Amino acid sequence: MLKFSHIDSIEKLHQGYLSKDFTVREIIDDYLAHIAAVNPEMNAYLEIFDDIDDLVNRAEQMIASGDIHPLTGVPVAIKDNMLYKGKISSASSRMLEHHRATYNADVVDNLLTQGAIIIGRTNMDEFAMGSSTETSAFGITKNPRDMTRVPGGSSGGAAAALAMDGALISLGSDTGGSIRQPASFCGLVGLKPTYGSLSRSGLMAMASSLDIIGPLTKNVDDAERSFYALARHDENDSTSIPQSMRDAVTSRIPKKIGVPRSFLAQDGISEDVRLDFEKSLKLLEQAGYELVDIDMPLLEHALAIYYILMPAEVSSNLARFDGVRYGLRVEQDTLIDTYKESRTQGFGPEVQRRILLGTYVLSHGYYDAFYNKAMYLRGALEQAFKTLFADIDAFVTPTTPTGAFRFGEKRDNPLEMYMSDIFTVPANIAGVPALSVPSGQDSNGMPLGLHITAGYLQESVLFAIGKDFERMRDAQA
């Protein structure tokens, strides 16, 4: 157990540094000792970096000189699909098992500039394809709340590292719920920011029009601090939101929250989740929010849209891994056989499944029937969100249809596994921000989450509602 376990927020950490209650060295040594004790069983970290001492020395110098940034001296875990120059970045795949990054991701550069302590890289579903961290080529990651259950995915290692007290914040990536679902399963706060608010430069692409980096934290305040510390325009990312657009945003004071009752009436949602959600709505009312029923029929089609667009982009993005330029190469007598064997041995079953599905929907004769139709519906959903947020400040659902499930329970049923994303994918499709906040427990004692979605660049709305919900939840605990 951490000696400094009571230091559970960035604010407390910085107060301790400034009052000299402890040093960065003492904090990091405490984390490293704890990780050494629990990680062999948990498998949250794939690697603890060997240059941590240099980062600690620099952070202590910054604090001594008064040059303190929002993330100075903060122990951070990063997902294994973010480039860190000189370090292995494998996306938890045999294809990139020995790949060393040649440059830093923008978020890594930002962490280093601010004096954060990057502890190591965390396990994940291979190439971020999965909802349970069972598809990693380097073994499963266990849920610290119950080691017979999954931590969620694809950022399951990032969530487990935080939940086991192996970092103070973790960075994950979210394509369809890969930050928020594991946050819910592990009892954490998870933020999927507005698409383009954090740079994708140096993030291994899964589905480029959906991917976004975001923080997992232990409270909403830390999610807010982390987001504003890392969000910036990056000229190396063509999808990065210009600073002028960010500056032009008027932050709302949230008052009205929508509840999509018809969307919540479908099958597959556990009774535990329904009961917890109703309790969460009462807490929001007690916090002073007006709750209104909303009707968004397109939400019911979001999962189908996602599972056409995402595999199509996966098929395109992963075409570069061919055994020729970099990554695993399995030498054969002919070039075509080298391609085949390199990709067959380099990619696991779930990655192969999504490549095949994406190639199919992009093929001649099916492109219009599937991909173009999904793109049309994506545009319709984006417009529906714009209309919706003209009348309300946010809308809420559960984060997941069930609590964390047992290992193997859904591995052989891809459709049931994909249902884990039913509440989270709409925000990715529309490019708007969403936040998962711990809300309660299911009958197995596993965490559940409240999912809050706001309008474009309205992260401040999420943080305001999230903090109010935390306050009401803790007051009734």
Identity of the amino acid at 80: D
Sign of the CA dihedral running 99, 102, 106, 110: positive
pLDDT tens digits along 354-400: 999 999 999 988 999 999 999 999 999 999 999 999 999 999 999 99
**Quick one: what percent of the chain has pLDDT higher than 70?**
100
Q: What is the pLDDT of residue 379?
A: 97
Query: What's the chain's average pLDDT?
Result: 96
pLDDT value of position 256 = 98
Catalytic residue among 89, 93, 131, 154: 154
pLDDT tens across 248-281, in order? 999 899 999 999 999 998 888 999 999 999 999 9
CA–CA separation, 434 and 428 (whole Å): 9
Report d(CA 381, CA 447) in Å as an integer: 30
Report whether pLDDT(183) > 80.
Answer: yes
Sequence-ordered list of residues with C-beta below 8 angstroms from that of 219, at least 6 positions apart, any chain: 8, 9, 189, 470
pLDDT at 56: 98
The CATH number of 10-234+241-247, from 1.10.260.40, 3.90.1300.10, 1.10.3720.10, 3.40.50.10490, is 3.90.1300.10
**pLDDT tens-digit map of 28-55:** 999 999 999 999 999 999 999 999 999 9
Res 365: pLDDT:
86
Residues in a beta bridge with 169: 76
Residue 44 CA to residue 163 CA, distance in Å, equals: 10
The question of whether 9 is a catalytic residue gets the answer no
Q: Using a cut of 0.95, tell me whether the model's pTM lies above it.
A: yes
Per-residue pLDDT, 477: 78
Task: Band the pLDDT of 419: cuts 50, 70, 90.
Answer: confident
Output the CA angle 169-180-436, nearest 5 degrees: 90
Confidence (pLDDT) at 326: 85
Q: What are 97's two structure tokens?
A: 């098992």
Whether pLDDT at 433 is above 90? yes
* Residue 417 scores a pLDDT above 90: no
Instruction: Kindly report, residue by residue over 342-351, the tens digit of the pLDDT.
Output: 999 999 999 9
pLDDT above 90 as % of the chain = 93
8 A C-beta contact, residue 219 and residue 189? yes
| Domain chopping of the chain, boundaries | 10-234+241-247
* pLDDT at residue 199 is higher than 80: yes
Residue with tokens 């017979």: 148
Report whether the peptide linkage leading into residue 154 is cis, meaning its omega lies within 30 degrees of zero: yes
The H or E element that residue 121 is part of is strand 117-122
The reply to whether 154 belongs to the active site is: yes
Is 262 a catalytic site residue?
no
Q: Report whether pLDDT(457) > 80.
A: yes
What number of other Cβ atoms are within 10 A of residue 274's Cβ?
Answer: 14
Cα–Cα–Cα angle for 167, 169, 174, rounded to 5 degrees? 125
| Secondary element (H or E) of residue 224 | helix 220-230
Look at residue 2 and tell me whether its pLDDT is greater than 90.
no
pLDDT at 415 over 80: no
How many whole angstroms separate alpha carbon 180 and alpha carbon 161? 15
Segment 315-331, tens digit of pLDDT? 999 999 999 988 999 99
| pLDDT the model gives residue 11 | 98
pLDDT of residue 425: 97
What pairing do the DSSP bridges indicate for beta strands 434-441 and 394-398?
A: unpaired
In whole angstroms, give the CA distance from residue 124 to residue 131: 9
Residue 7 contacts residue 166 (beta carbons within 8 Å): no
Distance, in Å, from the CA atom of 473 to the CA atom of 8, rounded to the nearest integer, reads 18
pLDDT of 416 reads: 81
Is pLDDT at 65 greater than 80 in this prediction? yes
* Active-site entry in 170, 178, 197, 280: 178
